[in-house]
Structure 1
């Protein structure tokens, strides 16, 4: 399914009313964040986000892979807390932690958002005395953190994906040797991220090889059977064929053989083209709707509850266990969810619907993110679809970084998918993404 030009994208007014939303999910507001209107943005922010998206990570499933590194960082620096944080368009994800049970927070509330602005490190001697952090929950409430030191996690392209940081409830002083050890640990974090990506790529390669073998076997069996049948007729002593008939069969065999060679070449060329287009991107293991729902619930339910918003993810029971590639899917739908939460008021709802449409030679993965939030004018919708949209603050004053939806458009375009938006001011917005999927056994 090719991506249409921007002017061909469709947007229509939604007929859904706010009262249409309902759920039985218990609403438990846990942490209320102090949201700020000023925030730092790296000059290379979009490329930084693309670099992070290329790892195609499930932020909720990395704890065990990095736990030893946060433990080591805390031990060598003598601090009570250590975190490995990755920062996307809206959120800081603590993929593993030591001494502080933290999984995510809004980006604008983090200290590490300043670390990714620095070339080497960022230090805050006393968080209580720094007006940027003095009112944050981790300073004013338990554990009442005071000291922070962070090292950027640098990709091979030089972009900062996030930070390795250590924190303490007392002010400290780290000597040069300890700082150098933190740099070594940070480099190991990045090395493991690349190793995880390579493992995911190899898993996908194995799947693709198996699929190619099945496809070649199916596509070649018919023509090859025809050649064998004609050859048996020519060589059979009972056929009593005349010379002109034998020559005719030989010509047919030659034509079929040529077609068979062309078919084999076409399969090989398509495989090489696929590898060329996808070989440098992050490819993950195949998964299905139930796994995607579980991932989204783990990642975004805390954000929704922190703002007092109902968050519901539903799947299509008839196809929910049919596998598909997870390539960039979590990044795409995750950015749309964060955007929906940002522009939905307390007491509102964000609803995610996942469906897989079975078609002849391929499937279509349909991802819909609806909210009961502020909504947009048709002009605003068109500005987003044409890459000219400007960021604005959320319903609770959340900072707008301006890169979430452009990143979604970029990723959808990369996968040759379709993005459409329907919205009515005051009645919410519906984002719908369609991604073409190869059939996976």
Structure 2
């Protein structure tokens, strides 16, 4: 069986990709101009911007070929991200690694490939900018340099999007802090005003003019601050519309179905996503949720045979001081023994090929455990060999 290439820094690479917290369905317009420019520069019919996670190559924008995703082990770009340099295949039809792939055997019957890693400053290849054609091609050094510039601009835009998302999160946190401060000062201020009122009434009985004047000043100042706190709270009432850094269960469900239903159809697996009804529209932070849940879904499909079942159950439990997001990914696959569960819980990478011959890279569940820990969440695994598996993720959320 063919060995699939894996970058030497693969764990660090997929952690770096997860830090961008990318919704793979949301970038088509942002990179459309660069994909078109790359095709024009290279003189090819097709140009793709691909990001590659543990299981899947996600095409976040395309030119000349309608494609959204493919299994990582079927892609040419998996070779591009395993090197620091561009990767070229002069003729896909005569290369043993690619001659049997669906995009070579069937339409569009591609022959030429040239890919440039999308490399971060930290040295992590998030994916690749690639140009492809049905005919054989040869790129001049000048064209290659222009393609490298375009690839750098793609990384720059990804970094800019990451910064914008971070700023929005900080702005949201600052607003929450403002509301907390307002709540915190209202209690003491109310106490001060009440105490001042008592002293003021006693002062009237004793006719202490200086004390009365001083106490009156305290009352006026206290009321002024209390009114200010009320104003802060009034202008900071929660907005129920979703912010850029939020999902609700309905949106989360829709994203998962759009991203992973094609994988289920490809393997003839029944895939369903359900949500709790009573909390379906309550917002929660979307930070790393697609990366965590997506890896669990892809892993479940990998180890579930054809005609099998993969279900995702999403629920949000509303509590007084916090909310609890629970994600259950259940499959009818080959299951795990206790040693396998212990490896996952210990963050140890293991590699096993899937039931359909899918390549195992061994980093997906290790990444899931890393991300859950970083969010102060918990992971539970319930499984026995031959009886499927249930991965339960519990993540605390702000109320």
CA distance change for structure 1 residues 214 and 126 in 2, over 3 Å: closer, same or farther?
same
1:416 aligns with 2:376: yes
**The one of 285, 302, 319 aligned to 2:279:** 319
SS state at 1:133 partner? coil
Matches within 5 A, 1:128-277: 128-236=93-201, 240=205
- How many Å apart are 1:120 and its aligned residue? 2.0
What are the equivalent positions in structure 2 for 1:312-391 lying under 5 Å apart? 312-391=272-351
Q: CA contact under 8 A between 1:284 and 1:327: conserved in structure 2?
A: no
Q: Distance in 2 between matches of 1:426 and 1:170?
A: 47
In the TM superposition, residue 85 of structure 1 has moved relative to its aligned partner by: 0.3
TM-score by length of 2: 0.89
Gaps of 5+ in 2: 223-242
Deviation at 1:133, TM superposition (A): 0.3
SS at match of 1:387: coil
Provide the secondary structure at the position in 2 that maps to 1:356.
strand
C-alpha distance in 1, partners of 2:73/2:349?
A: 20
Distance of 2:325 and 2:88 partners within structure 1? 45
- Give, in whole Å, the separation in 2 of the partners of 1:335 and 1:418: 16
Aligned residue among 6, 11, 14 for 1:49 = 14
Q: Give the equivalent residue in structure 1 for 2:45.
A: 80
Q: Tell me which residue corresponds to 1:10.
A: none
Cα shift readout 1:64-115 (whole Å, capped 9, x = no counterpart):
1111110000011110000000000000000000011111011010000000
Matches of 1:96 and 1:240, distance apart in 2: 80
- Indicate the residue corresponding to 1:66 in structure 2: 31
Please point out which of 63, 72, 77 is paired with 1:98: 63
Deviates further, 286-295 or 159-168 = 286-295
1:156 Cα deviation (Å)?
A: 2.0
Q: Number of matched residues?
A: 370
**In the aligned structure 2, how far is the partner of 1:316 from the partner of 1:147?**
48
1:360 is displaced (CA, Å) by: 1.5
Cα distance in 2 between the residues matched to 1:236 and 1:104? 76
Q: CA RMSD in A?
A: 2.0
Kept in 1: contact 2:7–2:83 (CA 8 A): no
In the alignment, is residue 296 of structure 1 matched against residue 256 of structure 2? yes
* Residues 336, 408 of structure 1: 8 Å contact kept: yes
Quote the residue 1:32 is aligned against: none
Asked if structure 2 preserves the Cα contact closer than 8 Å seen for 1:152 and 1:161, the reply is yes
Which residue matches 1:25?
A: none
Does the 8 A contact of 2:344 with 2:366 survive in 1?
A: yes
String of CA shifts for 1:188-238, please: whole Å, max 9, x gaps: 100110111111112222222222222221222111110121123223465
Structure with bigger RCO (C-alpha 8 Å, 6+ apart): 1
- Alpha-carbon distance change, 388 to 158 in structure 1, aligned in 2, over 3 angstroms: closer
Deviation of 1:367 (Å)? 0.7
Per-residue CA deviation, residues 336-378 of structure 1 (Å, 9 max, x unaligned), is 0000000000000100011111112111110110001111112
* Alignment-derived partner of residue 390 in structure 2: 430
SS state at 2:290 partner: helix
Distance 1:298 1:102 in 2: 13
The CA deviation at 1:155 is: 1.2
Contact 1:197 1:284 in 2 (8 A): no
Distance 2:2 2:343 in 1: 23
Q: Which residue of 1 aligns with 2:76?
A: 111
Q: CA deviation at 1:37?
A: 4.5
